[in-house]
Amino acid sequence: TYPLPEAQLDRFIFNIWIDYPSEEEERAIVKSTTGSGSAKITPVMTGAEVLTMQSLVRKVPVADDIVNYAVHLARQTRPGLSEDRSGIGELVSWGAGPRASQCLILGAKARAIIEGRYAASIDDVNTVAVPVLRHRIVTNFNAEAQGISPVDLINRLIA
């Protein structure tokens, strides 16, 4: 397989990091997938329920200061912007576009619902920042020479 170009990566809301399974988990995977039995699939929700949840997320209110924060966070990852006060723009060759700001807000809204709250917060934006932004930032030679990853840059921004 080949890596996806930045424009295609940007279409994914989150980049979820899944590490290798433990030895015990790997044994269970091997046993369950190499035998003659078939796995029993138990649905956890219907397609209609998924659509309802998606609609509910969009109805969660977000204050202007939260939207401003999400937009500012995404913009800080872009190279060559005069508003970059973090110095991060000097370490990236490609930063997060407007879709990242949208995804930060949608992720924050979903997290608010999961946490049982009726409105998204800056903490929600910060919590989803790494999975929303890490695949949208391409570091340059300066960052790579210093051992700085996109996750390091995001953590610096939300600290």
Q: What is the pLDDT of residues 49-60, one digit of tens each?
A: 999 999 999 999
Domain map (residue ranges) of the chain: 61-158
Ranges of H-type helices in the chain: 6-9, 23-34, 47-59, 64-75, 98-114, 122-133, 141-145, 150-158
Report how far residue 157's alpha carbon sits from residue 17's, in angstroms, rounded to the nearest whole number.
20
pLDDT confidence of residue 56: 93
Q: What is the pLDDT of residues 13-48, one digit of tens each?
A: 888 888 999 999 999 999 988 988 887 889 999 999
More confident call, 85 vs 27: 27
pLDDT confidence of residue 46: 95
Identify the burial level of 127 via C-beta atoms within 10 angstroms of its C-beta, where 0-12 means exposed, 13-18 middle and 19 or more buried.
Answer: middle
From 2-6, 36-40, 82-86, 110-114, the region with the lowest mean pLDDT: 82-86
Q: What is the pLDDT of residues 98-134, one digit of tens each?
A: 999 999 999 999 999 999 999 999 999 999 999 999 9
61-158: CATH number: 1.10.8.80
Report how far residue 95's alpha carbon sits from residue 78's, in angstroms, rounded to the nearest whole number.
4
